[in-house]
Amino acid sequence: MKKILLGQIILGTFLYGSEVSLDELLKSVEKNSYENKLYNVKKEENKEQEKILKKGKYNGINIQGESEYKKNQEKYILKNKATFGDFYIEGEKEKQLNSKGALGIEISLKDKIFSKEDSQLKNLINKKHIDKIDYVENLKNEKIKLIELYKNYKDNEFELKLKENALKTLEKEKNILEKSYSLGNISKIDLNSLMVTYNNLQLEIKNIKSILEQIKKIFFYEFQIEIGEQKLKEIHLENKNLEKYIKNIGKNSIEKLELEKTISEENLKYIKYDNKVPEFYIGGERNLESSDNRVFLRFSKDIFYEDTRYIEEKSSLEKININLEREKNKILSEHYKIEDGYFTLEKEFLILKNRSTLEKDKYEIKKIENKLGKISYTEVMETFDNYLELEVLKEKAKNSLNSYMYIIKIKGE
């Protein structure tokens, strides 16, 4: 069991250099996503369907058998017929009598003009396009999930480094304050205020390390990506052509609905034709026993007939038209929401950047004031805690902005 599990892990691992970027991982998803396998299955299914539909009426041989017993005449009759497309052969056998047989051809002029298979082949072409759109959109969703996971990792990674560095700084401060306290130069509350922050940082660091390990497992099991000890590069995307990508967002959903509309229109076209045009057959037959030949014409037509297929398909087409109009308006609204989301994230980042810089300056001033004896060390620690919190929020805001630009690009590709 261990060997099997090890083999699965090795097969699912993708190796990179010491550093790996978001772009590299996105390419990995595009190449190794389960969506590729599902799409390949769908393509193979469509290929087989096309092959069968092109056969039309020549898809296999139809065999019919019938037995009849006439009690008054004490006759037992066997009848058989085999049909392949337009051709057929049939026979009849009575007990103690010679067999009768016929070979013939029966052509449906209605199907020669426009058959159900012709209509289905047209729809299959559009269905292939729909399958491709579904594949592309599903792959985009996979990539967006990866971007969000990558951002989550980078957020926690930054917070870990920041707090590890802060812990080192406090370690030095702790040694100084412990000596000062032993000499009676500072109060117990000043030392305690540092120790609370110090102990909290240790707990937070331990928790963040655990979170990072869990995220690595998600990378592996959801995307088959082994992060290991590799460093993930910063999330960075130039703010170029974002307007172009935003304009493209939603085009696939519109195209899909238009293809569904075309399929529905084709279905209606065939149903109308099928209901309006009568079945008209022309054929010829040779009697194998007497060598007689005959030519025949045959037609049939339903009258006063109401077809539920037409009602259902017409209703389906109306729904598609409604959804198409709604989707177009929805997409325009989404474009404005995306632009608003971008400017909101940009604003939040710039505000937090300024606040973090200000809080850092305040922290440096508080340290000086403490050394001059103007304030207690408790106030220094309060400013220090605020600074750390703002640094983390600033980094998260930066990653949110950059990852949001990536998501816009993915959606608009």
Which phi and psi (to 5°) does residue 86 adopt? -85, -10
- DSSP β-ladder status, 19-20 and 231-232: parallel
What pLDDT score was predicted for residue 371? Answer: 85
- Which residue has 């729809």 as its token pair? 123
The residue length of the chain stands at 413
Of the ranges 140-144, 174-178, 350-354, 358-362, which one carries the lowest mean pLDDT score?
A: 174-178
Look at 86-100, 187-201, 343-357 and tell me which has the smallest mean pLDDT: 86-100
Confidence of residue 73 (pLDDT cuts 50, 70, 90): low
Question: Do residues 341 and 404 make contact, with C-beta atoms less than 8 angstroms apart?
Answer: yes
- For residue 278, name the pLDDT band (cuts at 50, 70, 90): very high
| pLDDT greater than 80 at residue 253 | yes
Average pLDDT, the chain: 89
Amino acid identity, residue 102? A
CA distances to 66, 115, 254, 261, 311 from 314, rounded to whole Å, are 41, 20, 20, 11, 5
As a whole-number percent, the residues of the chain with pLDDT over 90 amount to 65
Q: Which residue has the tokens 């990995």?
A: 28
- CB count, 10 Å around CB of 166? 20
Strand order through the sheet with 75-84: 62-70, 75-84, 87-94, 100-108, 279-287, 293-300
Q: What per-residue confidence (pLDDT) applies to 50?
A: 92
Residue 13 pLDDT grade (very low, low, confident, very high; cuts 50, 70, 90): very low
Task: Please check the confidence at residue 372 and state whether its pLDDT lies above 90.
Answer: no
Q: Is residue 7 scored above 60 in pLDDT?
A: no
Q: Is the pLDDT of residue 236 over 50?
A: yes
Higher pLDDT, 192 or 397: 397
pLDDT band at 97 (very low <50, low <70, confident <90, very high): low
Q: Where residue 95 falls among pLDDT bands split at 50, 70, 90? A: low
Are the CB atoms for 370 and 377 separated by under 8 Å?
Answer: yes
**pLDDT for the residue numbered 155:** 96
Q: Which residues of 211-244 are buried (b: 16+ CB within 10 A; e: fewer)?
A: bbeebbeebbeebbbbbeeeebeebebeeeebee
Query: What integer pLDDT is reported at residue 239 of this predicted model?
Result: 66
At 157, the amino acid letter reads E
Q: Which of 107-111, 122-126, 304-308, 324-328 has the lowest mean pLDDT?
A: 304-308
pLDDT above 70 for 134: yes
Per-residue buried b or exposed e for 317-340, using 16+ beta carbons within 10 Å of the residue's own CB: beebeeebeebeeeeeebbeebee
What's the confidence (pLDDT) of residue 306?
82
Encoded tokens for 59: 């898809």
pLDDT at 11: 35
Tell me how far apart the alpha carbons of residues 326 and 263 are, in angstroms, rounded to a whole number: 19
410: number of Cβ within 10 Å: 19
Q: Does 3 score more than 60 pLDDT?
A: no
- Would the pLDDT of 2 be above 50? no
Predicted local confidence at residue 376, as pLDDT? 84
d(CA 95, CA 76): 6
Q: What is the mean pLDDT of residues 298-323?
A: 91
